[in-house]
Structure 1
């Protein structure tokens, strides 16, 4: 039996590492599940890693063919949740096993997660109405989870800013560490190297006076921006209806689609998004500029990788005009939980040079930015 410390390497390397020892029953099941997926990678043969054993099976008297449904059931039992989500993501995104999200039998049983949401949005054009109805369950479940998390972040951002006045209301988020330490220094015990807190202190909050602002989200719906599309839809829904905020959501590729009428229903909105195609950012910014009602009370958020397929000069000119008229312009290369962007740095620098804020944000950071502007 293989040493437990070596089992992970045995599973990573597959059959070429069988000399490390034999696997137990559960280990064998994991090995077969990994082989079903990663064994189809021809590049592994050249690296001596996990040969595609299942491809060598011939005839009708060999091992039964494992279906996608069987495999999904197996990995759910054999691996922790985080690993299951990674395997599902690789199945769809790396090996394009589309029946993970287009097979009704799979969709009726699979546990929704963000990787599957991305897969549904990328493959929904392949689905018939019945399959699309089942796939919508994944969209609804993941969006619901995102909404619950993001609503909290938006609510905190718009609740009010901390002041330096002390407060009788004791909330952890308003804990005044500096004042608390100073007020309790007399309780420090050098022999224990501990400071005992007898009287904690807290900041107070004041509600912001809100006047009407526009938040115009322009979202690149090319395939590489899928995470940002998802989080933009949910962010727009969370901002929708807030006092003092009028939200617009516009998706674009080589054409522009105003999705504002569906902002309050992010599930319906995402089901209408068409991922892929070219990119005409200038056209989208020009459209967004036409929505501005009061320039000095408008925040235009362009979410794109900045690889312009239209007019780069027109894009820079349109952004410059928005900035010069007093609008806040944010050019975000990513709007998602990771905020790790890949983008055209030359175009991004040119946008920054004409006065736009350029970077990447999580939805919570964008909500705080909007709240700070609206509350001024």
Structure 2
């Protein structure tokens, strides 16, 4: 006997609805954690139960170390390195890398696991990311020798991943900007910028011949002939700027690899350290920083100002949340003096993929009044910001102060 489509639909409709309800209940049970089961929620099995256990270990449910039952949403991984390492392995099995990184960050923040990061076994089990690097750098001085090599390997993996993602575009974008800024009206044949030449001569189009007469040639001198610009990266290494320090070290190494630029990297808190001689290895740069402490932007800018020899060909990039502990008026005076001498000055409130940063709005507004807007910048946008500075044009402003 053949079943009519109408009757099949009548039968499948309730079944499909029941399946949707079960899925909805399963999701709510995962969100609510063990409390969901106590309130009559769906029972989890298999992979769902394992995922729920991993989440409950961090965010609630289960038992505290020593066997005492927990109430509410408190967390409890305990302080056993093997136990934490097993938990880290579990979450990498059940969740994608982006979620694992968030859970690791929460575990370190919520459970106070920083001390465990000094154990090689713990570090080997972690999913490396920029935030983990920042935490390791903050623990650098307390790190035992047995852990330092493992920590360097973790940091190097993150740095190499960032370089693969950012280096090629940075070099190509900045090379183009340097070529355009060094434009010449009498280029040799191999140095003609044909795209710009055609655009500049469109009024000379001859319809009968279907061609453009290049009355004016537009080109650029070869970028490899000489250094065209000096770049100074002045980076705040206070604890809140950890992700920015990591990205700045990577970009500093990329810029230093370009023969058309001279690059200086200066990091500061209340002291100023010039890490330019370590720019060939961003891992060495990062382990040369000291996250935390106060902030003296004025002292850092004074040092950078003293190293400028070609103001009209210099770009200074200050990476700081502008919470100044030094002399505010002197800081602003230095910025004004540098810009008046021809320096292109850019202030980045953050150089990271995070959301809107916390920063000193009064200082940001004061810098804006000097013609140097302060804004947050993602790593992907940094090449465009630098290209604009090299060409002496307004930068893209994704999050203007």
* TMscore range, shorter length: 0.7 to 0.9
| 1:277 lines up with 2:293 in the alignment | yes
With the length of structure 2 as denominator, give the TM-score of the two structures: 0.74
Q: How does 1:113-262 map to 2 (within 5 A)?
A: 113-160=129-176, 165=195, 209-210=222-223, 211-262=227-278
Match of 2:53?
32
Task: Give the 3-state SS of the residue equivalent to 1:157 in structure 2.
Answer: helix
**Structure 2 unaligned blocks of 5 or more:** 1-18, 70-77, 181-192, 200-217, 393-401
DSSP 3-state at the match of 2:139: helix
Corresponding residue number in structure 2 for 1:108: 124
* Residues in 2 aligned to 1:156 and 1:75: alpha-carbon distance in whole angstroms: 39
CA 1:207/1:148 → structure 2, altered by over 3 Å: closer, same or farther? farther
Distance 1:103 1:12, change over 3 A: farther
Query: Does the CA-based 8 Å contact 2:364-2:373 persist in structure 1?
Result: no
Report Cα offsets for 1:38-90 as digits up to 9, x if no partner: 22xxxxxxxxxxx463358259xxxx987101111111122222221111111
SS in 1 for 2:64: helix
Deviation at 1:213, TM superposition (A): 1.3
- The Cα RMSD (Å) is 2.9
Distance 2:310 2:262 in 1: 12
Which shows bigger deviation, 211-220 or 275-284? Answer: 211-220
Out of 80, 83, 91, the position equivalent to 2:99 is 83
The corresponding residue for 1:54 is 64
**What TM-score comes out, normalization by structure 1 length?**
0.79
CA distance 1:207–1:101, change in 2 (3 Å):
farther
Give the equivalent residue in structure 1 for 2:361: 345
Shift of 1:373: 4.6
Match for residue 6 of structure 1?
25
- How much does 1:111 deviate? 3.7
Which of 9, 19, 44 in structure 2 is aligned with 1:23? Answer: 44
Contact persistence 2:315–2:390 (CA under 8 A) = no
Question: Displacement, 1:208?
Answer: 6.0
Give distance in 1, aligned partners of 2:31 and 2:219. Answer: 55
* CA distance in structure 2 between the partners assigned to 1:111 and 1:256 by the alignment: 32
Match for residue 97 of structure 1? 113
Q: Is the radius of gyration larger for structure 1 or structure 2?
A: 2
Alpha-carbon distance in 2 for matches of 1:28, 1:81 = 20
Matching of residue 321 in structure 1 with residue 331 in structure 2: no
Confirm or deny: 8 A CA contact 2:255 2:261 kept in the other structure.
yes
Q: Please, which of 371, 382, 398 is the counterpart of residue 355 of structure 1? A: 371
Return 5+ residue gaps in structure 1 as ranges. 40-50, 168-175, 177-204
Moved over 6 A (4+): 161-164
User: Which shows bigger deviation, 273-282 or 23-32?
Assistant: 23-32
Q: Do 1:254 and 1:278's aligned partners in 2 also have CA atoms closer than 8 Å? A: yes
Change in CA separation of 1:74 and 1:283 when aligned onto 2, cut-off 3 Å = same
Check 1:101–1:55 CA distance in 2 against 1; reply closer, same or farther (3 A cut). Answer: closer
**Which residue in 2 is equivalent to 1:72?**
88
Secondary structure of the 1:218 match is strand
Q: For 1:132-168, what per-residue CA distance to the aligned partner results, in whole angstroms no more than 9, with x for missing partners?
A: 111111101010010111111212203436978399x
